[in-house]
Amino acid sequence: MGADIRIAWILARGSERREWWRILLTALGAVAATGFALGAVVIAAVQGQVSIPYAHGLLNQPGERAGVVLALVLLLVPVLGFLGQCARIGAVHRHRRMAAMRLTGASPAQVRRIAAVESAFPSLPGSVAAFAVFVVLLAGAGHAPHPAAWAGFVVVVLAVPVAAALVSVFALRRVVASPLDQVRRTGPDRGRRAVFGFLLAGVLVSAAGLFGLFPVSIRSAAFPALVLALVFLTGAGAIWAAGASAAFLGRRLSLRAQNPAVLIAAGRLAHDPWAAARTHAALLLVTVVGVGFVGVRAILLAALSDSGNGVEDLAFYTTGIDLAGAAVLVALAISLCGLAVGTAESLATRRRGLAVQAAAGVPHTVLARAALLETALPLAPALLLAGLGGTAVYVYYAVIVGGAVPLLPLLVPVAVYAACLLAAATSLPLLRRVTHPAELRFS
């Protein structure tokens, strides 16, 4: 392992200038992960009941602080997914060096480890920079953390690069570099496993629906567990739907479509249908949470606005709701960045094939529409399923509290879908670069 780290360090130092964006994105991901983790450590280090002049008393009680810490920790999920996307695009971009290492005797597993560690090196400067900014902010606020918190800070700064390396290893686990200058992804057929997971999710969600037959007190106590089950199971089903629909649409459209852009997109989906599931995983989970949150927020605000509810400090509740909404928006923004990086990674992987198509006379507009269709086609059914899961969450909450069911949350999947297409469109300038005739010299 020590030799792999030394090789990765040498390769990272010798990176070409065109790789600055990969290093910058990885460092930014480390900054976000470190910031969220440091914030969680500071809040968790506060002991007992205190009086903090921020957030309208939301941080005064241990119970409310635990909820804020949990929200910050959950924000690490999309950040780690973003780092995994950066690792994939970095490995494919350096494919010639990976092939050279294979020619010198390195095994595929060793090449993946070296690529993962090389991708993790930019995380350390990003983690240190986030820690420096965090300390300055604490000093400016006049807050002196508990001595145990400083030990937690050190652990976070060191753990983020390690976590980035582990996520990179996981992201590259199916990447195979051959000595013939090829990089591909392989994996077993996931059809049976995906169908089994989908059926299991359906059974569990149906069983959870039986809670509606119990008294209100039991339903209220079981609501948090039901929300977690619905989010997890619906998210897993939506991820499965992205891959399954990509495979189905790829096969069908390859045989029946007549539009050139649709044919190109269908061929790509049929070749690697589970690429959509990998790219959209975090985004689909955030969509489930987002739809459920918008619905619960509308129901809760309507209940709090009732003059007879006995609530004296309305700002305490609205501040907590707004902070939770901000966390969802941050998670959505990070997931959209991951989608943009994943789309760029897909174009970079196929740059030689795209250059051949452009040289053969395929218009740039056709290739651009095909790139967008690769995102749009499998994402639509997956977002529909994610929206249904989030709708089930807030409808169940409305049944518990006896409130009206709002319709505004139904627009959330539509807005997310439009945002996903815009995020995918940010990679189109790269498409013109990878279709340059100069890329033909590598074919």
Give the pLDDT confidence of 125-184 residue by residue, as tens digits: 889 999 999 888 888 777 777 777 888 889 999 998 888 888 877 776 665 555 555 555
> Which residue's entry shows tokens 């599931």?
277
Give the pLDDT confidence of 399-432 residue by residue, as tens digits: 777 778 888 889 999 999 999 999 999 988 888 8
pTM: 0.76
Q: Which two tokens stand for residue 192?
A: 């049976």
More confident residue, 443 or 137: 137
What integer pLDDT is reported at residue 412 of this predicted model? 92
More confident residue, 404 or 197: 404
What integer pLDDT is reported at residue 186 of this predicted model? 46
What integer pLDDT is reported at residue 225 of this predicted model? 67
Q: Which two tokens stand for residue 161?
A: 């690069």
Nearest to 382 by CA among 280, 278, 233, 231: 280
Evaluate whether 196 touches 206 at the Cβ level (below 8 Å): no
Q: Would you say residue 187 has pLDDT above 60?
A: no
What integer pLDDT is reported at residue 91 of this predicted model? 58
What integer pLDDT is reported at residue 312 of this predicted model? 57
CA atoms within a 13 Å half-sphere pointing along the CA-CB vector of 93: 27
What integer pLDDT is reported at residue 422 of this predicted model? 94
Cβ-in-10-Å burial (0-12, 13-18, 19+) of 273 comes to: buried
What integer pLDDT is reported at residue 140 of this predicted model? 79
Give mean pLDDT, residues 261-270: 88
Average pLDDT over all residues of the chain:
77
The 10 Å Cβ neighbour count of residue 404 is 9
More confident residue, 346 or 51: 346
Residue 183: strand pairing partners: 177
What integer pLDDT is reported at residue 189 of this predicted model? 45
Distance CA 178, CA 107 (A): 9
Say how far residue 307 (Cα) sits from the centre of its chain: 41
More confident residue, 143 or 253: 253
Residues 6+ apart with CB under 8 A from 440: 352, 355, 356, 359
Give the pLDDT confidence of 2-41 residue by residue, as tens digits: 777 777 777 666 666 556 777 788 888 889 889 989 988 8
Evaluate whether 235 touches 390 at the Cβ level (below 8 Å): no
Give mean pLDDT, residues 373-383: 90
What integer pLDDT is reported at residue 418 of this predicted model? 95
Residues 6+ apart with CB under 8 A from 47: 146
Nearest to 297 by CA among 271, 267, 321, 279: 321
Distance CA 125, CA 157 (A): 10
DSSP class of residue 312 equals S
What integer pLDDT is reported at residue 188 of this predicted model? 46
What integer pLDDT is reported at residue 191 of this predicted model? 47
Give the pLDDT confidence of 211-226 residue by residue, as tens digits: 555 555 555 556 666 6
Residues 6+ apart with CB under 8 A from 152: 41, 44, 45
Give the pLDDT confidence of 310-340 residue by residue, as tens digits: 555 666 667 778 888 888 898 899 889 888 8
Evaluate whether 300 touches 266 at the Cβ level (below 8 Å): no
Distance CA 429, CA 78 (A): 25
The H or E element spanning position 175 is strand 175-178
Give the pLDDT confidence of 295-305 residue by residue, as tens digits: 888 888 887 77
What integer pLDDT is reported at residue 423 of this predicted model? 92
Give the pLDDT confidence of 69-117 residue by residue, as tens digits: 888 888 888 888 888 777 766 555 566 666 677 777 777 777 777 777 7
